[in-house]
Amino acid sequence: MLKAVKTKASRKTGKSFAIVASTYNLRYVDAMLRAAKAEILRAGGKVQIIRVPGAYEIPVVAARLASNSKLKTQNSKLSAIICLGVILRGATTHAQHIGEAVSNALVQIQIDHEVPVIHEVLLLENEQQAKERCLSKTHNRGTEAAQTALEMAWVMAAL
């Protein structure tokens, strides 16, 4: 029988999280990163931040973190990995290929290593969409990513 998962309101965590964030489209990614970090810290979690050049480089770092996490003791294991990036479509299909490759890799990492990988590598049509999803005070995908990571940490701990 599984343990009951605590309600969101009653949760405080000492759990550890990693955020892998690209430096490409820095303005948007940094806004998501600040929001995600603040949300994790507000919940009492610990955060490790790793920067990579672009979205395509995120999966290899996430895989290394997930692999290393399996080797650690239960007390120091990563509870989730949050991946943040912004890909803006251009005139070619390059952005689509990058987005699909990253998505496929991230899902495989979480399945192979049984560590939640929160996918907020956004494939967006234009800068207006990036502003709406990354720079808004009321709607920030970084905050949502951190909330999902916190929720998944509790779900996985209950299994």
Q: Give catalytic residue positions.
A: 94
Please state, in angstroms and rounded to a whole number, the distance separating the CA atoms of residues 10 and 35: 21
Residues 6+ apart with CB under 8 A from 127: 88
Question: DSSP class of residue 117?
Answer: E
Helix (H, G, I), strand (E, B) or coil at 92: coil
57-60, long-range: CB < 8 A, 24+ apart: 57/22, 58/20, 58/22, 58/83, 58/85, 58/102, 58/106, 58/121, 59/83, 59/101, 59/102, 59/105, 59/106, 59/109
Q: Which two tokens stand for residue 157?
A: 């701990």
